[in-house]
Every structure is written in structure tokens, then in C-alpha cells.
Amino acid sequence: MSDHAAQRNFVEAVGARVLGGVCYLGGITILLGRAVSVSRATLARSSGRDALIVQMVRVGVRSVGIVCLVQIFIGVILALQLAPPLEPWGQVEMIANIIGIAGFRMLGPILTAVVLSGFAGASIAAELGTMVVAEEIEALQAHALNPVRFLIVPRLLATFVMMILLTIIANWMIAIGGYVTALAVLDPEVSEGYWSLMRDQLRLRDFASGLIMAGVFGVLISLIACYEGLRVRGGAEGVGKATTMTVVYSIVSIVLAAGVFTAIFYVFGF
Amino acid sequence: MTQTDTDNSTNAPISVKPVIRVVDLVKRFSGRAVLDGINLAVHKGETIVIMGGSGCGKSTLLRHMIGSLFPEEGRVELLGRNLNELDEPDLNALRLRFGILFQSGALFNSMTVGENVALPLREHTNLDEQTIDIMVTIKLEQVGLREAADLMPAEISGGMKKRAGLARAIALDPEILFYDEPSAGLDPVTSAEIDQLVMDLSGKLGVTSVVVTHEMDSAFRIADRMAMLDRGKMIKIAPRSEFEAIRDGQATGDEGTDLIRQFLRGDSEGPITARRLSTGYEEDILEAAWEE
Ligand SMILES: Nc1ncnc2c1ncn2[C@@H]1O[C@H](COP(=O)(O)OP(=O)(O)OP(=O)(O)O)[C@@H](O)[C@H]1O
Ligand SMILES: [Mg+2]
């Protein structure tokens, strides 16, 4: 193969990837648009509200334990890693400020989202994919029942709401993890001043920016999961692929979105 | 091959507008024409059976008739409306007038059998819960599944799933019923029961039925007219008696007729198998080698 041909193949491959990415984004955006346009219709019916509650329980209650466990450990790790470098400056008590900022602004939402993409995202994709394979989605349509109104909206709203609620819990778990560590292994004055330092450090915008991101992550996770699930073709194999891709794309999009939002917050001093 | 004109092949008067009309329908999947110029007219109250080998496009044709797939060329008219031209609300209004039994039953797995049947009633009527309960019981009794109302789809057998799917399909008393292989994979008795059900629905209630099947016994039991689909083309549409004559007659030498004859009789030798053996074995091998 000549150099020229190799180069062209490379360009073509990159082009195909970019095009595929744009199509994917387009597909997800369309799905979001449709979901938004029928969300009122979902909530207007008691069956829709019931479905929402079922999904909230499924998304939230099942992952709350894992979220707590992970986030407490994050608090512990932060405290143990930050204490030694702060020691020479006599500022070990500052771990409260740093854990507050890092936890509430970033680690709380991001790690909760990662846990949720594995928990809720994967299971939503598998469930919808199985429904596609079993002709259930077509059956809904044939009965004049809109699958977006029936299936997507409850999952999207549930993940959005639960992501925010779980992040609130997660934030406190990180803080508690740091506090417990301070109590157990650091100087007594560190734990004594812990909560007041954290309270002085944190502003409303720190809570808010974390929760805004959490909401965005929730929408991203559920949209990707629903999209992957709905486009499953070809049996169990397709379902397996959809769950894997859901987790991969979710995590990538979570980190990218976090980067974008952090940059925006930074520019606007939020 | 005999390309039978649809409108001559029926004994219904020409002036009666068909309930379903498929006109010059072409459907391609990634460039390959799966349905290639299909014409078909189904009249009120009749039962038409569509036959054909596995993968010849029967389910795909059915999906076009229910407006879940749309053709590249041609059109489907259902109850006088061109499906291509309907928007979602109009299509949904039309969907309430027909029912479909999917190949796999397609029950909603998160609901009990009873809830599956109740769903269309709950969503599309203003009936109160008590009335819906009664209706569900009636529909389930019709398919012989009353005792399974509270079971989940995962807990019942394949045949029961099909029957439950049928109960759901008839929940709103449709004018047209589509069946995708209603008796495939069922034991002979259950299969005969389903056939009886199909005949009852069309005989007593005047439902128009389109049945896809390759169970020949069942096809000859229920059909008024039969249609043979082969490799994306409709090669014959005729009253049952004509197909019976082909089945019971001698091989004619005409490829289309002999193909149908082999299919109906389930012979292991004939045009279908001859085609399979002769098509491009060498080409395939050469092509494979070439791609290396
Ligand atoms: N969504 C799709 N995308 C691509 N190809 C498809 C799709 N649906 C069906 N096909 C192809 O179209 C052809 C006809 O499929 P179809 O399901 O209509 O066959 P069938 O006659 O119902 O077969 P069977 O008797 O096995 O149910 C097959 O070759 C199948 O691979
Ligand atoms: Mg089929």
C-alpha cells in the first residue's frame, strides 16, 4: 500500500469516526427532544407517575448503599492523602476546606454518576434491549402506546432526580469520611475544627454547581442507556454490547461534561 | 412464474374496497430488497394466509401492514388510509382498529398476563377498573387462559404466551387481526385450538384476518385465500381450493407452480432445493478467495 493510500485510509477512518460521533449525538438529542415533548403526558396519568416511582426506587434505592460506601472511602482517602503534605505548614485542619470543595463540587457528583452508570445505566440498557429483541417495543407501538412516553420518560426523570438526591447524600458521605478519619488518626484539633472550617469554606454556589452537574450527569446516563437499549439489534449478543457501550460512553461523557462545566463555572467565577 | 393479479384472484365484487391494500411495495435492508414489488388486497371478513420459507420477508411484510416499518417504494392502505401519509396521532387512531399477535407473543414482561390484556383497555378507554377486570376475564377465557391471569410471562409456556398475546390483541375488539405464526412451535392440539380461535373470530365477529404461517395443516384449515411469498416476491395469490389442487396434483414443469407444490407438500426435492444447490457455489468460493 502506498503512503498516499495509507494516509487517505487514515483520514477516511477518522472521518467515519467523527461522522459516527455526530450521528450518535444527533440521535441522543432527538431522543431527549421527544422525551421532553411527551414528559407532561407521562406525568398527567397515574400510570405514568407510578412508573416514575418504580424507576426511582429501582435507580436510587438499589444504588444508595454502594454510593455511600464508595464516597465514605473517598473521604477517608482524601483525608489520609492530604494530611502529610499539609503537616509541614501546620495546616492539617485545612483538610476540611479541601475535602469540602473537592467533594461537593466534583467527587460527589462524578463518582456517584460513575456508580449509577454501572448500576442504573447498564440495567436500563439491558432491559430496553431485551424488550426490543422480544418485540415488546413494537407491541407497544402497535397498541398505539408511545414507547418514549411509556418507557423513556420515567427512566430519564427517575435517573435525573435520583442522581441529584444521591449526590446530596454522597457529598455528606465524603465529608463524614474525612471527619471520621480526622477523629481516628489525626490530631484532635483537626476534627474539632472540621465542621466549622468546612461551613466557612463552602458557599451556596459550591453546592449548586455540584448539583447542576449531577443533574446533567443523570440525564446523560439515562439518555445513553435508553438510546443504546432501543437500538439493540440481533438477540442477546446485541444486549450485551449495549450494556457495555452504555457504561463506556456514560463514563466518557460524564468526564467530558464535568470538564466543560468546570471550565464554564471557572470562567464565570461560579 | 405466475404473477397473479390480486384483484382478479378474489371472488369478492370489485366494487368493494379492500380493507388492506399493498401496492408495489419495495423494502430494502442495507441495499438488499427484502420485499420486491408486493401487491396484495385483503377484503372485509376474509382470512388470508401468507406462506413462504424462513427469511423470505413474511414478518417484514406484516410490519409494513401495521405501520411499524415504512416502504422505500409503494404504499400500504389500511381501512382506506395510506399509511405513508399519516402522522403519529392519525396512525395511532388507526392502530386501535387492528390487533396483532407477534411471532414471540411479545408480552410485556414486567406485567402479569392479566395486566397485559388490561393495558390497552386502561390506556385507550375510559372504563372503570371493575369493568376492565371483567373484560380481561372474558378475553382470557376466550383463549383458555383465565387461570393464568396473575402469572408473569416468564412463568408460562410458549403456547400460553401466544394465547395471552392473542387475548391482548383482541382486547379492543379490532376489525383486523394480524397473526405472525400463531401456531409455530405449539403441540398439535394447542395449535388446532388456536386455529379454531382464528376461525371463530373471523366467522362470528367478522374480523378480517391476515395470518403468516408455514404450518401447512393450519394454513389449509383457516384460509379463505392463500398467498405465496418467495424471495421478496408474491408469486401466487389464490383461493384455497387452487392451492389444494396444486398440492394434490402432479408436478407441472412450471417452476413457480412446482415451487409452491414442493412447499405445500414439504417435499425434500423440487425447485426450492434445486435452487439452493445450484446457486453460485463456485462464485461464493471464488469470491471468498478473492476477498483475501
Ligand atoms: N430490521 C432489519 N434490518 C435488517 N434486515 C432485516 C431486518 N428485519 C428483517 N431483516 C431481514 O429481512 C429478511 C426477512 O426477514 P423476516 O423476518 O421478514 O422473515 P420471515 O419470513 O418472517 O422469516 P421467519 O419465517 O423466520 O420468521 C431476513 O433476511 C432478515 O435478515
Ligand atoms: Mg417471521
Q: Is the C-beta atom of B67 inside 6 A of ligand 1?
A: no
Q: How many CB atoms lie within 10 A of CB A193?
A: 15
Residue B66 CA to ligand 1 center (angstroms) comes to 16
**Phi and psi of B107, rounded to 5°?**
-70, 150
- 3 state SS of B259: helix
**Across the interface, do A141 and B104 touch by the CB < 8 Å criterion?**
no
User: CB within 8 A of A30, min separation 6: which ones?
Assistant: none
Nearest CA in chain B to A141: B68
What are the boundaries of each domain within chain A? Answer: 3-267
**What is the atom index within ligand 1 of the atom nearest the CA of B69?**
1
pLDDT of A2: 61
Q: DSSP labels for A140-160?
A: HHHTT--HIIIIIHHHHHHHH
Q: Which residues surround ligand 2, an ion (CB under 5 A)?
A: B 59
Nearest beta carbon to residue A142 from set B88, B100, B122: B100
Q: Which residues of A touch B123 (CB under 8 A)?
A: 47, 143-145
Are A72 and A176 in contact by the 8 Å Cβ rule? The answer is: yes
- 3 state SS of B178: strand
* Minimum CA distance residue for ligand 1 atom 23: B55
Q: Is the C-beta atom of B34 inside 6 A of ligand 1?
A: yes
Are B153 and B164 in contact by the 8 Å Cβ rule? The answer is: yes
Pick from A173, A73, A54, A133: which is nearest to B111 by CA? A54
**Across the interface, do B95 and A142 touch by the CB < 8 Å criterion?**
yes
pLDDT in tens, chain B (292 residues): 444 444 444 444 455 788 999 999 999 998 888 999 999 999 999 999 999 888 889 999 999 999 989 999 999 999 989 999 998 889 999 999 999 999 888 999 889 999 999 999 998 988 888 999 999 999 999 888 888 889 999 999 888 888 899 999 999 999 999 999 988 777 888 888 888 888 988 888 889 999 998 888 889 999 999 999 988 889 889 999 988 888 888 888 788 888 888 888 888 888 887 777 666 666 777 777 776 5
Pick from B48, B30, B37, B40: which is nearest to B226 by CA? B48
Which residue ranges form the domains of chain B, and what is each CATH number?
Answer: 2-290 (3.40.50.300)
Distance in angstroms (rounded) separating the CA atoms of residues B153 and A243: 23
Nearest CA in chain A to B119: A143
Are B161 and B104 in contact by the 8 Å Cβ rule? The answer is: yes
Nearest CA in chain B to A142: B95
**Across the interface, do A144 and B109 touch by the CB < 8 Å criterion?**
no
Distance in angstroms (rounded) separating the CA atoms of residues A133 and A118: 22
Q: What is the mean pLDDT of each run of 10 residues along chain A (270 residues)?
A: 73 88 90 90 85 91 92 94 86 88 93 93 94 91 90 94 95 93 86 88 89 95 95 88 94 94 88
Angle between helices A235-267 and A108-116 (to 10 degrees): 170
Give the ligand whose atoms come closest to the C-alpha of residue B68: 1
